[in-house]
Amino acid sequence: MRSMQGLALTDFQPIPDYHLKAKIAEGGMAEVYEAVYTPLEDEVALKIMKPELARHERYRVRFLREAKLCEKLEHENLVTGFDARRTGSYFFYAMEHIDGATVEERIERDGPFDVRLALYITREVAKALTYLHGRGVIHRDLKPGNFLLTESGKVKIIDLGLAKLPGGMTQDSDQGVTVGTAEYLSPEQARGWDDVDGRSDIYSLGVSLFHMVVGEVPFKGETNQEVIAKQVLSALDRPELKSRQVPAYLHYIIQRMMAKDRGDRFQTPGEVVDQIDENAGDVSDAVRKGPPPKVAPVAGRRASGRRSPGTRGKPPTRAAARRKTRGRRGRRR
């Protein structure tokens, strides 16, 4: 018989109201499972914090902050979260389960994107940023690995674990600490500045746009420290943009989004949207041609690859969830 350490959570089903079907992703802090919310028989993605990390208050606070933020925010370009709870040693919350692939996966499989598709994704992310920034939330970890492109052509931002909340501080004491992914950090993030604002997200989105168009990030190095130094000191002088013969306006948009001085960048995500609209017109035609090809499952999408109809895959309403779970063990916390 296998030891308890060798058992998967699907072997003993420890989460009330959820039947775990298969693990579809794993990160440093949590695992994500394809699951069924049994009171309503809805398919969801269940994000479960690793119990060994749940013993540390710093990680618990960060995980629960992300869960509560996902519950609170409602936008077509953000993955919806609900039902954050604790049961025994497990902290978890549910998310809508989405068919699709991350943009990073598609780049790794197919190479650089068509310019109009890259601009469409950038525009959709910028719309979500307008919503987030309007509520005082700075994402701080924008990158193609955190953008889901669904089979129907919708773009969803995932992973708010490093978000900066209203009031200027996160709850996990990161003053003076570099937070984010080295290849996409703004210069002010790289320096560990405490007054990072929405223009930092615009820089990271600019890096992501470069990555989509060129097929690789603009600054690379043997170590994170080397990459971080380039984010601060190195000019964006890459021949790949010209070699792919991209439009001059796209080169300008990327250069402006990735300006080292945040005062020289577009100051709001809305300005990014306006620039795309003025220069490229309606870029939604990039996805109207048909759904993107399927790839292997990742967090936040259905492992079977079945397409979700319009209403399927949406989370149960919070009122319905509360009615079904009221009085049960493992109540919402």
pLDDT digit string (tens) for the chain, length 333 residues: 333 444 578 777 889 999 999 998 887 889 999 999 999 999 999 999 999 999 999 899 889 989 999 999 999 999 999 999 999 889 999 999 888 889 999 999 999 999 999 999 999 999 999 999 999 999 999 999 999 999 889 999 988 888 998 865 554 445 555 678 999 999 999 998 889 999 999 999 999 999 999 999 999 999 999 999 999 999 998 888 777 678 999 999 999 999 999 999 999 999 999 999 999 999 999 987 654 554 444 444 433 333 333 333 444 444 444 444 444 444 443
Same domain, 59 and 127: no
Candidates 58, 228, 62, 56; CA nearest to 47 is: 62
Give the rounded distance of the alpha carbon of 277 from its chain centre. 24
Choose among 76, 198, 197, 217: nearest CA to 144: 217
Do 138 and 233 share a domain, yes or no? yes
Tell me the CATH number at 182: 1.10.510.10
C-beta neighbour count of 283 within 10 angstroms:
20
- Residue 269 contacts residue 198 (beta carbons within 8 Å): yes
312 with 189, same domain: the answer is no
Length of the chain measured in residues: 333
Distance, CA of 91 to CA of 84 (rounded, Å): 8
| 74 and 9 belong to one structural domain | yes
Question: What token pair was written down for 122?
Answer: 């950038």
Check whether residue 85 and residue 150 sit in a common domain: no
Dist. CA 125–CA 146, nearest whole Å: 10
Q: Which domain holds residue 48?
A: 4-98+299-325
pLDDT at 168: 54
Domain-embedded: residue 294: no
- Judge whether 141 counts as a catalytic residue: yes
- Residues 76 and 144 occupy one common structural domain: no
If asked whether residues 94 and 105 sit together in one domain, one would say no
Which of 17, 141, 159, 201 is an active site residue? 141
Judge if 49 and 183 occupy the same domain: no
How far apart CA 104 and CA 69 sit, in angstroms, is: 24
Domain membership of residue 331 (yes or no) is no
pTM of the model: 0.81
Examine the domain organization and report whether 119 and 234 are in the same domain. Answer: yes
Q: Do 106 and 223 fall within a single domain?
A: yes
- Nearest residue to 187 (alpha-carbon basis) of 157, 232, 235, 222: 232
